[in-house]
Amino acid sequence: MPVKLRSTRSRLGLAVLAVSTLVLAACGDDGKTEAAPSGPVDLSTVTLKVGDQKAISIEVLLKASGQLDNLPYKVEFSTFTAGPPLIEAASANGIDLAQTGNTPVIFGAASNADIKIIGALEATGKGDAVLVSKDSPIKSVADLKGKKVAVTKGSSANANLLLQLKKARLSLGDIEPIYLAPADGYASFRSGDVDALSIWDPYTAIAEQEVGARSIASAETAANGYNFWAASAKAVGDAGKAAAIKDFLTRYAAATKWSSENLDVWSAKYAELTAISPDASKVTWTRSIKYPTALTDKIVASEQEIADAFTDAKAIPGKVDFAKFVDKNFSD
């Protein structure tokens, strides 16, 4: 169920916050947006709909760090299984904002989703891995030829698998991809129905801790470690939503800083609120904290390389121009 959070300021009737914000108009042929006239916004009338998932845990992080206190607007969180359905929901205006890995935004662009990529985050990529069981004879990605590999289609794990196969001079056609949601993929991996699992933290950490899974390839050796903020185009063009999004991203940045400076407290709280083991939580947040970073041309170019790899593999229709979906007006 969505969680509605009302600020103390709102309850006391002090939430009429007038701010000036640049509202973005339609995207031009060059992928850039033009600023519409600015004006006052009453954030007490705004409800920001944020999509979340266990691996990212936006609500858990903001709550633990105190960044959900005294909000001048309301927030509704909805939980999704992975990045691709988050992008679908944003495109359909079911949510206003979501954070995903490096690949759901590419699949969204390939399907011409009605979204804007408004921010970037960087991580090590160590927690995004191709796993095999502890007693598996598979030692390297090259050994995956002819094997069943569970992976969530359109996820960052999908990109990691594709690029790792490319490094090993293999393709998706050389293996048998079994496309499953993260929890279902892990269940199939545990039962031995698949030979390998391409997944991300905390699922990677859980598999390592629970069944002794071994990583044969992590994303830091092939893919980029970026995550992205994606917003519905409608929310970006709405003055109130745009102002709330800017404030929300600032709060997330502060929460991330808090988590990195209070790792023991944060990982314990995460374990408690998500019902995973403290050890898996500690491993996850030792290597998979996602730090906000500027949405640079270098990052856009890196995403374009991944998009081109999916095009070459005929895993997405046609060629994606990733830059056309990028809006840098929020990246400060």
Among 186, 206, 221, where does a domain finish? 221
**pLDDT at res. 223:** 80
| Same domain flag for 246 and 108 | yes
pLDDT at 10 over 60: no
| Same domain flag for 24 and 139 | no
Higher pLDDT, 332 or 174: 174
| pLDDT-wise least confident of 19-33, 188-202, 277-291, 309-323 | 19-33
pLDDT at 16 over 50: no
| Same domain flag for 234 and 207 | no
pLDDT at 1 over 50: no
80-111 pLDDT, tens per residue? Answer: 999 999 999 999 999 999 999 999 999 999 99
140-164 pLDDT, tens per residue? Answer: 999 999 999 999 999 999 999 999 9
How many Å apart are CA 328 and CA 292, to the nearest integer?
A: 13
Whether residue 202 has a cis bond before it, omega within 30° of 0: yes
Cβ burial, residue 264 (10 Å; 0-12/13-18/19+)? exposed
Structure tokens at 246: 């800017």
The CATH number that applies at residue 154 is 3.40.190.10
How many Å apart are CA 284 and CA 307, to the nearest integer?
A: 27
Q: What is the mean pLDDT of residues 127-147?
A: 97
Transcribe 277-326 into DSSP letters: -HHHHHHHHHH---EEE---HHHHHHHHHHHHHHHHTTSSSS---GGGGB
pLDDT at 331 over 90: no
Cβ atoms within 10 Å of 114's Cβ, excluding its own: 14
**pLDDT at res. 273:** 82
| Best CA proximity match to 103, nearest among 175, 198, 208 | 198
**pLDDT at res. 11:** 32
**pLDDT at res. 39:** 62
| Same domain flag for 114 and 18 | yes
| Same domain flag for 316 and 244 | yes
How many Å apart are CA 157 and CA 128, to the nearest integer?
A: 6
Sheet with 115-122, edge to edge strand ranges: 3-5, 74-80, 47-53, 97-100, 226-232, 115-122, 291-293
Contact 17/78 with Cβ under 8 angstroms? no
| Same domain flag for 9 and 119 | yes
Among 188, 221, 254, where does a domain finish? 221
Among 161, 195, 221, where does a domain finish? 221
Question: To which H or E segment does residue 235 belong?
Answer: helix 233-236
| Same domain flag for 117 and 22 | yes
| Same domain flag for 169 and 243 | no
Number of domains in the chain: 2
Q: Degrees (nearest 5) of the Cα angle 305, 310, 311?
A: 95
CA 118 to chain centroid: 13
183-209 pLDDT, tens per residue? Answer: 999 999 999 999 999 999 999 999 999
| Best CA proximity match to 113, nearest among 92, 82, 85, 83 | 92
**pLDDT at res. 33:** 44
**pLDDT at res. 222:** 85
**pLDDT at res. 38:** 53
| Same domain flag for 109 and 243 | yes
| Best CA proximity match to 21, nearest among 278, 286, 257, 235 | 235
How many Å apart are CA 148 and CA 144, to the nearest integer?
A: 8
pTM of the model: 0.84
**Residue 212: which domain range?**
129-221
pLDDT at 308 over 50: yes
pLDDT at 24 over 60: no
| Same domain flag for 233 and 94 | yes
238-272 pLDDT, tens per residue? Answer: 999 999 999 999 999 999 999 999 999 999 989 98
203-234 pLDDT, tens per residue? Answer: 999 999 999 999 999 998 888 889 999 999 99
Alpha-carbon radius of gyration of the chain: 20
| Best CA proximity match to 157, nearest among 117, 215, 210 | 215
Cβ burial, residue 169 (10 Å; 0-12/13-18/19+)? exposed
How many Å apart are CA 332 and CA 317, to the nearest integer?
A: 33
| Same domain flag for 316 and 238 | yes
**pLDDT at res. 274:** 83
**pLDDT at res. 22:** 35
| Same domain flag for 43 and 108 | yes
**pLDDT at res. 309:** 95
